């Protein structure tokens, strides 16, 4: 009987001393396993006199039960502790600030392009596209600028081979669209895109820049239509109250040709440093499509006429946002580009 109590006490002490689940399991095997001490007590019962067996058996059972209960309790405590420990070990500090991603903003030139597209789509124009690597044929020949024409000197060109070049103006797309129409009118479109010239870069020149061409061909299209259209555009781009004026100019693909000025949006035409006191700012070139251009592209200049214009997007953006160096558009300084997120 004493032996039972000794074993029981030993087991309870061992359970209390087990400080992790592994050790506890070893204790369990040692006392409750098939070859464990308590089972050994059961076997000892065989050698006892018959009358002592029931009391002994009962005692061993009590011992077994107490040890089992103590084990279960201890196991629960240790499991809880192990879980708490794991939670501490695997804790993720969600209060740490993440790595900030700076989202991009729409490039100011793309903003101007989109503004122009919106405004002309609203007037029923379509938006056309064309290749930047262009044939001399579309860039010059069809635009009434044959080889050896002095106007070729106005646009110093990146040639790829004698017939292929980087387009120097969006007028190349105008020619492609005219040819594509196969003499059918009306045509109403704009073609925005990048153009290239062999210029030395400085505050107002860039070897790559953007233009947007406009083209309307139909019956009875006049210079007045051109003026009304450009005045509407000037008002939308530079604010209500703008007026425009035409100055005579020369382009081989238009006749007559005009240079278009807009009344200075900074001083309302009174004269300031931006317009150099004149009250006017030059914004684009335009004119009536040259009859010879119409003819070369399969139109009868007796039956239809058209106007065209080409506007530089950098110039518009510089005026609109007060930017004084064209290189800002191309050096990708995030601090410069970030300023435009408020217009996005």
Residues that bind ligand DAH (CB under 6 A): 169, 171, 174, 213, 251, 254, 285-287, 308-310
- 74 vs 169 by CB, closer to ligand DAH: 169
- 28 vs 315 by CB, closer to ligand DAH: 315
Q: 307 with 274: CB under 8 angstroms? A: no
Q: In what order do the strands lie in the sheet with 159-161?
A: 133-135, 164-166, 159-161
Closest distance of CB 326 from ligand DAH, Å: 15
- Report the residue number whose CB is nearest to ligand DAH: 310
Alpha carbon dihedral 70, 76, 79, 84, in 10-degree steps, equals: -130
Q: 268 with 241: CB under 8 angstroms? A: yes
3 state SS for 81-117: HHHHHHHHHCCCCCCCCCCCCCCCCCCHHHHHHHHHH
- 8 vs 174 by CB, closer to ligand DAH: 174
- 56 vs 196 by CB, closer to ligand DAH: 196
Residue with tokens 């070369």: 296
Closest distance of CB 304 from ligand DAH, Å: 16
Closest distance of CB 332 from ligand DAH, Å: 25
**Cα 193 off chain centre by:** 19
Cβ-in-10-Å burial (0-12, 13-18, 19+) of 32 comes to middle
- 60 vs 286 by CB, closer to ligand DAH: 286
Closest distance of CB 310 from ligand DAH, Å: 3
Closest distance of CB 149 from ligand DAH, Å: 14
């Amino acid at each position: 009987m004493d032996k039972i109590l000794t074993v029981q006490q030993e087991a309870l002490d061992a359970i209390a001393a087990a400080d992790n689940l592994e050790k506890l399991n070893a204790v369990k095997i040692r006392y409750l396993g098939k070859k464990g001490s308590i089972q050994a007590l059961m076997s000892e019962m065989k050698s006892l006199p018959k009358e002592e067996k029931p009391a002994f058996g009962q005692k061993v059972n009590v011992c077994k039960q107490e040890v089992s209960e103590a084990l279960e309790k201890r196991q629960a405590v240790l499991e809880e502790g192990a879980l708490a420990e794991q939670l501490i070990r695997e804790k993720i500090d969600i209060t740490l600030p993440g790595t900030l991603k700076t989202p991009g903003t729409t490039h100011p030139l793309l903003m101007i392009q989109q503004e122009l597209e919106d405004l002309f789509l609203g007037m029923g124009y379509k938006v056309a596209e064309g290749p930047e690597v262009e044939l001399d044929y579309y860039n010059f020949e069809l635009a009434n600028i044959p080889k050896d024409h002095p106007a070729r000197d106005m646009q110093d060109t990146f040639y790829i081979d004698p017939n292929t070049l980087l387009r120097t103006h969006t007028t190349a797309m105008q020619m492609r669209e005219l040819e594509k129409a196969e003499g059918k009118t009306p045509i109403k479109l704009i073609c925005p895109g990048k153009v290239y010239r062999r210029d030395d870069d400085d505050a107002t020149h860039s070897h790559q820049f953007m233009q947007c061409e406009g083209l309307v061909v139909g019956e009875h299209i006049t210079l007045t239509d051109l003026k009304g259209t450009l005045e509407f555009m000037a008002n939308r781009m530079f604010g209500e109250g703008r007026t425009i004026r035409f100055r005579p100019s020369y382009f081989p693909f238009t006749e007559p040709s005009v240079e278009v000025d807009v009344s200075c949006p900074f001083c309302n035409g009174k004269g300031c440093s931006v317009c150099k006191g004149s009250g006017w700012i030059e914004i684009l070139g335009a004119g009536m499509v040259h009859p010879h251009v119409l003819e070369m592209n399969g139109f009868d200049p007796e039956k239809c006429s058209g106007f065209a214009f080409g506007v530089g997007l950098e110039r518009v953006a510089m005026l609109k946002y007060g930017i004084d160096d064209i290189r800002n558009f191309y050096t990708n300084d995030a601090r410069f580009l970030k300023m435009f997120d408020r217009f996005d």
